Amino acid sequence: MDIRRHRLENGLRVAAIPIAGLQSAAVLLAIEAGQWFEPIGRPGIARLCALAMLRGTITRDAKAWADALDGIGAAARLDVGSHAATFSAQSLGSDLDVLLELMADAVVRPAFAATEVELVREQTVAQIDDDAKNTRAVAERAWRELVYPKGHPFRARPIGDLDVVRAASADDLRDHHRRAIRPDGAVLVVAGGVEAQQVFDAAAKSFSSWRGGGSREERKVPDLRLTTAVRKVDVVPDKTQSDVVLGWPGLPRTDPRFVAARVTNMVFAADTFASRVGHVVRDELGLAYYVFSTLGGSRGQSPWVVRMGVNPINVERAVSTTLEELRKIVDGKVAEDDLELAQDKLVGELDVARESPAGVASLMLEGEVFELGPDYAERYPRELRAVTLEQVVEIARTFLQPDRYALAIAGPPLPERD
């Protein structure tokens, strides 16, 4: 891949990956404005701010902005995660300058008009209400509350707490915007049917006026370790399946052990077919239609969790089977072939992701956001291959203790336990 980089004077880092033969360009703008950067004790402010940024600017009202975006046929969305608020978009390569100008307008000059903030708030309140009947959302929320103490940036889901959302004012969002929506720490990645210079010119034209307000305080969050197994069961009426979240606090993306942790995750449960848990829980025992694990990458300890959908009568067996598989890893009973399979899968995926401009942009984003080095794309597959069995076992012992976990279950009532 031909990766070109440029840094604007305001600190915005720009990476361009031209791909010959494509009509479109995928754009990812990651701003360090996710949960980690949210005001302490105010979960939901980051997402409200992001959604309000899509509802009009000081130069265009919401209707005019939407007309302009749809006028170039672009697809776009703005999501808030544990680390970043990520504006992801795609347009024809020839429309890139218009797309970036519209994105910049929303990011740099949002109006936060009272009526629009109110609309976003009410939408969010409705979503929180609906999530209270959604087994996946209920289990996710319960799991976070078991693991993260009050005030921790990851205790709530990005959608936030109802009370915070209800109380948030337009000024709260302006304040968050001024402090968190800033070019230093932000990364713009563009991949597809574009020239690198076209990307740099368009980025400079649209984003040069972007300024952050003051310096950002470094967030200090104490390390977390679970000291015992904790469990919560929520009954959600009129459901037939239980959603299960089983997990541990993870490790920061900047931790030198993170790549080994990612390989461990693949050996353990990340993929239905390449991982031990999927093989046993779904394929051998037929206990679940879906079962997979994820390890979040952020500056903090994002969730490292196994998720599965299971009939209530099978929940206990699915959980105990998952923990048995984990125990085997912790006890060093990992076959060389399990490790090779996990490494092959992770490295092979990098090649396959190159099939689309969005895949290429996503591949690049992590290295750019966490400043993992200009040779990261080239180095990363080698780092995956270099992980040893001993490292996998050590990672599992350190982060995935089979007798100290948090388990959240949401769905129909469970049968009585023996």
Residues of span 308-367 touching other proteins by CB under 8 A: 309-311, 314, 341, 344-352, 354-359
Identity of the residue, 383 or 394, whose beta carbon is nearer to other proteins in the bound complex: 383
Among positions 146-185, residues that touch other proteins (CB under 8 A) are none
Among positions 223-242, residues that touch other proteins (CB under 8 A) are 236-241
Among positions 48-87, residues that touch other proteins (CB under 8 A) are 50-51, 54, 62-63, 66-67, 69-79
- Binding of residue 23 to other proteins (CB under 8 A): yes
d(C-alpha 279, C-alpha 30), whole Å: 35
Return the bridge partners of 15, or none: 5, 189
Residue pointed to by tokens 């006028």: 71
Identity of the residue, 352 or 416, whose beta carbon is nearer to other proteins in the bound complex: 352
- Binding of residue 290 to other proteins (CB under 8 A): yes
Return the bridge partners of 241, or none: none
- Binding of residue 286 to other proteins (CB under 8 A): yes
d(C-alpha 107, C-alpha 405), whole Å: 39
Identity of the residue, 19 or 260, whose beta carbon is nearer to other proteins in the bound complex: 19
Q: Which stretch binds other proteins (CB under 8 A): 133-141, 321-329, 366-374, 391-399?
A: 133-141
Among positions 362-401, residues that touch other proteins (CB under 8 A) are none
The minimum distance between CB 45 and other proteins, in angstroms, equals: 15
Judged by DSSP in three states, 289 sits in strand
d(C-alpha 316, C-alpha 105), whole Å: 51
* CB-based contact 333:268 (threshold 8 Å): no
How many helices (H) and strands (E) are present in the chain, helices listed first? Answer: 15, 11
Identity of the residue, 202 or 288, whose beta carbon is nearer to other proteins in the bound complex: 288
Identity of the residue, 223 or 336, whose beta carbon is nearer to other proteins in the bound complex: 336
Q: Which stretch binds other proteins (CB under 8 A): 126-134, 173-181, 226-234, 324-332?
A: 126-134
Task: Report in angstroms the alpha-carbon separations of 280 from 212, 248, 333.
Answer: 50, 21, 15
Question: Among 78, 79, 100, 81, which Cα is nearest to 16's?
Answer: 100
d(C-alpha 8, C-alpha 207), whole Å: 8
d(C-alpha 29, C-alpha 84), whole Å: 9
The minimum distance between CB 293 and other proteins, in angstroms, equals: 15
The minimum distance between CB 75 and other proteins, in angstroms, equals: 5
With CB under 8 A as the rule, give the number of residues binding other proteins: 86
Which residue of 113, 119, 221, 230 would you call a contact of other proteins, by CB under 8 A?
119
The minimum distance between CB 358 and other proteins, in angstroms, equals: 7
Residue 411: phi and psi, rounded to 5, are: 155, -150
Which residue of 274, 363, 392, 396 would you call a contact of other proteins, by CB under 8 A?
274
Torsional sign, CA 259, 265, 266, 271 = negative
The minimum distance between CB 335 and other proteins, in angstroms, equals: 12
Judged by DSSP in three states, 300 sits in coil
Would you state the structure tokens that stand for residue 37, as one six-digit string? Answer: 């950067």
Which residue of 289, 371, 375, 404 would you call a contact of other proteins, by CB under 8 A?
289
* CB-based contact 238:315 (threshold 8 Å): no
d(C-alpha 185, C-alpha 299), whole Å: 12
- Binding of residue 203 to other proteins (CB under 8 A): no
The minimum distance between CB 279 and other proteins, in angstroms, equals: 8
Identity of the residue, 70 or 378, whose beta carbon is nearer to other proteins in the bound complex: 70
Which residue of 15, 27, 120, 146 would you call a contact of other proteins, by CB under 8 A?
120
The tally of CA atoms less than 13 A away on the side-chain side of residue 372 is 25
